[in-house]
């Protein structure tokens, strides 16, 4: 810590103050004395430069995390700062730790003057941190995604069992009955007190007797009425057993798999849906991986554990509820936005969904007049998934370790934004970065549900040697494309390998050295996914893997191969792939249907083996076609299969 201590001593009173700043690169002790006699005062200035960085903890953090921070840094615990106070303090800090209540905006990074090196989020969500601004200012953002896993799983099971046995409703019923008795008896007791304090016991003895009798009668009457009205209605709160029932775990990551383990211990049959869950990991705990449709249509209970992404937003809606068994029960301790809350109310009212137990909501806190929260068949808690003493301490330690590691210059496995790259390298690789992500995104969408992606091979063809072509960023972007469509994790150069490993995803790389000028960084990139089934059979190569290949043309990504079929289409917008028999009129037939459905076509391309043989039509579209439109195309006699892909 660097401290300037000034003492200005005039002939009469004195004034002292202190300025603090950090200079971790310099350790100097300086004492300087200057005499100024013109105005009769002396200035003493002392500088103490301390190599320790400063960490600002803006919200309450577990003591274990604070102790860890103090071993390496100067810790400033300043809670409940308003935005201006935070902006004022931040220029004196190397690291900032927040929970969900502090907004780390672009202004915070700008006011830091480049000194802020890392922001730690004590928890998972980073909605309150401006990631773009952090990256632009060279500031790493880390979170603590693993420490609350067990707490969230336990809360999911708690809601599951409480819902099945109507615990919350029965508890509220009994307590509301006692409250009713209290408020009905209270007026009689108050009247007795008034009579007593008035000193008219003898005068009012007859009235007093009548009141006492009325009080006794009212207590007995109210008790009978309460019992008859169901305040102690055992029959009303008969629950359902968990043993032998089917639980569908939607999202088989860390929390989902822990919920599955505990549900198995309760005697439930557990199935799961997760495009990324390795089948062997699921089998190890006795869980069957199935498609989304099979999971929701066969389950007695559904527990949600998927992240909130554009693909999962309102995934549980009127259409999905209509596919469920009547009387299904739903638990959500993941993210509120994965459920269409209005659709859930309709499903509860119709009896399609018998009960729901919710810890998260689209808007938190929900409105006081929320139909969902007030519904008699809904059990709610105020986002308590990670609220255990042990989880809070674990989160504190995890985020403290990440912050200290980042300040030491170590790569943080829990980083959620990418470090800045040299402008020259980024400019050259920019179109290949885009190509890499789109190839990964396209390849994973071709995997049939329930297969589980475990092994991915990436091939780079280039005239440059290994020392002249750094593929780490390209590999990270392929990983990003593979994982982000079904995950809330932000993938970057720092955390790509860690994120893949956490999901059981093994990515290998191969280089093909080409002859010619090394002016162009890469000739093509190929992505192969092994040991899976494909929802579009033509995407399978002769060796049995899903294979896609792409090149950069005019600095734009192009898809050049699907399976063994050569194509040449721009990877912009979204694609419809259509396997068909090559015959006249196919382009017109498909185009007419899309036109009638008001879907704008950006391009159409056909690749074929030979005339009148098998062919693949690739159609670029600006909007997502409806299921009805895709079904109409699939019903064309010459069409053999069709798939829609978002890029």
Q: Tell me: the pLDDT tens digits for 417-464?
A: 866 556 677 778 889 999 999 999 999 999 987 667 889 999 999 988
Name the more confident of 487 and 222: 487
pLDDT for position 333: 96
Q: What is the pLDDT of residues 1-59, one digit of tens each?
A: 444 433 333 333 332 222 222 333 333 333 333 333 333 333 333 333 457 999 999 99
User: Per-residue pLDDT for 305 more than 80?
Assistant: yes
Q: Please report the pLDDT score of residue 499 as a whole number.
A: 81
Q: Which two tokens stand for residue 215?
A: 């009080």
Q: What is the pLDDT of residue 441?
A: 94
Residues 159-183 have pLDDT tens digits of 999 999 999 999 988 887 655 555 5
The pLDDT assigned to 228 comes to 47
Q: What is the pTM of this model?
A: 0.68
What's the pLDDT tens digit per position in 56-82?
Answer: 999 999 999 999 999 999 999 999 999
The burial class, CB within 10 Å (0-12 / 13-18 / 19+), for 19 is: exposed
Candidate ranges 128-142, 188-202, 380-394; pick with highest mean pLDDT: 380-394
Average pLDDT of the segment spanning 87-91: 96
The per-residue pLDDT of the chain, averaged, comes to 83
DSSP 447: B
Residue 432's nearest CA partner among 463, 468, 460 is 460
Of the candidates 67, 319, 364, 596, the residue annotated as catalytic is 364
Q: Pick from 47, 68, 49, 48: which is nearest to 57 by CA?
A: 68
The phi and psi torsions of 110 (rounded to 5 degrees) equal: -65, -40
- Strand-pair category, 506-513 with 41-48: unpaired
Catalytic annotation present for 335: yes
Of the candidate ranges 459-473, 489-503, 550-564, the one whose mean pLDDT is the lowest = 489-503
Catalytic residue among 111, 261, 281, 383: 383
CB < 8 Å & 24+ apart, contacts of 111-114: 111/87, 112/137, 112/139, 114/138
Q: In the numeric block, which tokens belong to residue 622?
A: 């600006």
pLDDT at 495: 74
* pLDDT (mean) for 141-155: 92
Q: Catalytic residue at 32?
A: no
In this model, does residue 226 exceed pLDDT 60? no
The pLDDT of residue 307 is 85
Which listed residue (115, 273, 335, 475) is catalytic? 335
Res 39: pLDDT: 38
State the pLDDT confidence band at 511, using cuts at 50, 70 and 90.
very high
Q: Does residue 375 carry a catalytic annotation?
A: no
pLDDT exceeds cutoff 70 at 229 = no
Query: Which pLDDT score, from 0 to 100, does residue 136 have?
Result: 79
**Looking at the predicted structure, is the pLDDT value of residue 101 above 90?**
no
């Amino acid at each position: 810590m660097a401290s300037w201590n000034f003492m200005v001593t005039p002939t009469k009173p004195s004034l002292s103050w202190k300025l603090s700043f950090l200079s971790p690169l310099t350790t100097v002790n300086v004492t300087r004395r200057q005499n100024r006699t013109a105005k009769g005062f002396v200035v003493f200035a002392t500088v103490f430069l301390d190599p320790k960085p400063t960490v600002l903890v803006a919200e309450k953090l577990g003591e274990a995390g604070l102790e860890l921070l103090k071993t390496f840094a100067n810790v400033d615990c300043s809670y409940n700062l308003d935005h201006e106070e935070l902006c004022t303090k931040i220029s004196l800090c190397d690291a900032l730790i927040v929970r969900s209540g502090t907004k780390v905006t672009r202004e915070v990074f700008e006011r830091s003057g480049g000194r802020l090196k890392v922001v730690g989020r004590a928890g998972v969500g980073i909605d309150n941190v401006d990631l773009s601004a952090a990256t632009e200012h060279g500031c790493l953002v880390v979170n603590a995604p693993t420490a609350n896993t067990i707490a969230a799983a336990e809360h999911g099971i708690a809601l599951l069992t409480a819902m099945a046995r109507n615990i919350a409703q029965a508890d509220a019923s009994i307590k509301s009955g006692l409250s009713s008795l209290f408020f009905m008896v209270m007026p009689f007791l108050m009247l007795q007190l008034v009579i007593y304090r008035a000193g008219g016991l003898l005068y009012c003895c007859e009235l007093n007797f009548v009141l006492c009798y009325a009080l006794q009668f009212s207590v007995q009457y109210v008790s009978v009425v309460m019992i008859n009205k169901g305040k102690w209605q055992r029959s009303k709160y008969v629950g359902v057993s968990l043993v032998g029932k089917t639980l569908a775990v939607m999202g088989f990551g860390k929390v989902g798999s822990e919920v599955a383990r505990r549900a198995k211990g309760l005697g439930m049959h557990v199935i799961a849906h997760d495009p990324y869950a390795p089948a062997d990991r699921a089998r190890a705990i006795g869980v069957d991986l199935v498609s989304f449709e099979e999971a929701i249509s066969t389950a007695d209970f559904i527990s949600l554990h998927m992240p909130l992404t554009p693909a999962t937003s309102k995934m549980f809606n009127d259409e999905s509820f209509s596919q469920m068994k009547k009387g299904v029960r739903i638990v959500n301790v993941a993210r509120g936005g994965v459920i269409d809350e209005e659709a859930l109310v309709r499903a509860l009212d119709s009896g399609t969904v018998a009960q729901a137990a919710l810890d998260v909501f689209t808007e938190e806190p929900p409105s006081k007049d929320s139909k969902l929260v007030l519904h008699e068949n809904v059990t709610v808690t105020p986002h308590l998934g990670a609220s255990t003493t042990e989880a809070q301490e674990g989160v504190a330690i995890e985020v403290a370790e990440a912050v200290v590691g980042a300040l030491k210059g170590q790569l943080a496995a829990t980083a959620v934004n990418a470090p800045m790259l040299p402008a020259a390298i980024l400019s050259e690789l920019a179109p290949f970065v885009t190509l890499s992500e789109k190839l990964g995104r396209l390849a994973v969408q071709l995997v049939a549900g329930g297969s589980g992606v475990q092994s991915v091979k990436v091939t780079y063809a280039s005239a440059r040697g290994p020392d002249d072509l750094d593929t780490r960023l390209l590999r990270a972007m392929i990983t990003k494309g593979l994982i982000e469509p079904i995950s809330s994790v932000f993938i970057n150069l720092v955390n790509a390998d860690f994120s893949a490993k956490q999901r059981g995803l093994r990515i290998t790389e191969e280089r093909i050295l080409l002859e010619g000028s090394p002016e162009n960084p890469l000739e093509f990139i190929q992505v192969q996914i092994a040991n899976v089934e494909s929802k579009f059979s033509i995407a399978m190569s002769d060796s049995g893997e899903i294979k896609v290949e792409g090149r950069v043309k005019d600095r734009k990504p192009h898809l050049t191969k699907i399976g063994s079929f050569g194509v040449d289409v721009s990877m912009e917008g979204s694609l419809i792939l259509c396997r068909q028999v090559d015959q006249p009129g196919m382009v017109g037939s498909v185009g007419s249907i899309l036109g009638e459905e008001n879907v704008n076509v950006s391009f159409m391309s056909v690749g074929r083996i030979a005339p009148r043989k098998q062919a693949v039509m690739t159609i670029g579209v600006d909007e997502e076609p409806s299921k009805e439109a895709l079904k109409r195309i699939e019903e064309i006699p010459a069409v053999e299969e069709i798939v829609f892909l978002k890029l």
